[in-house]
Amino acid sequence: MKYASEDLRNEHEGVLFGLGILEKMVNTVKQSGTVDTKDIDDMVNFLRLFADKCHHGKEENLMFPAMEMVGIPNKGGPIGQMLIEHNQGRQYIAEMGASISSGILHVDRFTEAATGYINLMRAHIEKENTVLFPMGDKMLPMNEQEHLMNQFEEFEEEVMGKGTHEKLHETLHRFEKKYLKTRE
Ligand SMILES: [Fe+2]
Ligand SMILES: [Fe+2]
């Protein structure tokens, strides 16, 4: 890897993959009126841990501060906008989680929050990939890129632990088989 943003771009692919499955879940709910609530729980857990805690954690605690240091604006600028969107994402995830109570799914509450989240995150990732990260690639010196990559690794171990990553992968794989391969 040359740029620290490459690690974050790879994670974007993982998040987008999860969003594709979430979209199928929404369609399943709309068509049949229900979906396995355990699957929604697992999806919310994936988004909370991987998309928010790990990925947004790396951006907010490491990447964005480094970008600010080299002059990319936060408040009123691209970083500030990304932070606003992370918070909106958190609200959608909380809302999805709250759409299940005592094992019962509140269909509209779930589909509205999930659709809002999918649209928000797809646009958000597009902005980071095409606007913010190219700025960082250009402005952050190579020694800082390397430093960030090391920090990302440490951060990941710290907040996720190796076992968690594997478990989330398994969950996605199970979803892939259930929602992407058999329900076309
Ligand atoms: Fe972000
Ligand atoms: Fe991101």
What's the gap in Å between 124 CA and the centre of ligand 1? 7
Ligand nearest to the CA of 85: 1
- CA of 60 relative to ligand 1 center, distance in Å: 8
Question: 133 CA distance to ligand 1 centroid (A)?
Answer: 10
Q: Quick one: pLDDT at residue 83?
A: 98
CA atoms within 13 A on the CB side of 128: 28
**pLDDT of residue 183 exceeding 70:** no
**Burial category of 158 from C-beta neighbours within 10 Å (exposed 0-12, middle 13-18, buried 19 and up):** exposed
Count CB neighbours of 57 within 10 A: 19
pLDDT of residue 184: 47
Here the tokens at position 162 are: 């190796």
Considering every ligand atom, which ligand is closest to the CA of 79? 1
Beta strands in 9-166 (DSSP E): 100-101, 104-105
Q: How far is the CA of 26 from the centre of ligand 2 (A)?
A: 23
Spacing, Cα 177 to ligand 1 middle (Å): 28
Q: What separation in Å is there between the alpha carbon of 56 and the centre of ligand 1?
A: 5
Interval between CA 35 and ligand 1 midpoint (Å): 29
List, as ranges, residues with CB under 5 A of the ion ligand 1.
Answer: 59, 82
**pLDDT score of 67:** 98
Residue 174 C-alpha to ligand 2 middle, in angstroms?
A: 24
pTM: 0.94
Dump pLDDT digits (tens) for 58-116: 999 999 999 999 999 999 999 999 999 999 999 999 999 999 998 899 999 999 999 99
What values do phi and psi take at 141, rounded to 5? -65, 160
Calculate the alpha carbon distances from 113 to 18, 23, 142 in Å: 15, 11, 40
The answer to whether 15 and 126 have CB atoms below 8 angstroms apart is: no
**pLDDT at residue 146 tops 50:** yes
Instruction: Determine the distance separating the centroid of ligand 1 and the alpha carbon of 91, expressed in angstroms.
Output: 14
Ligand number nearest CA of 9 is 2
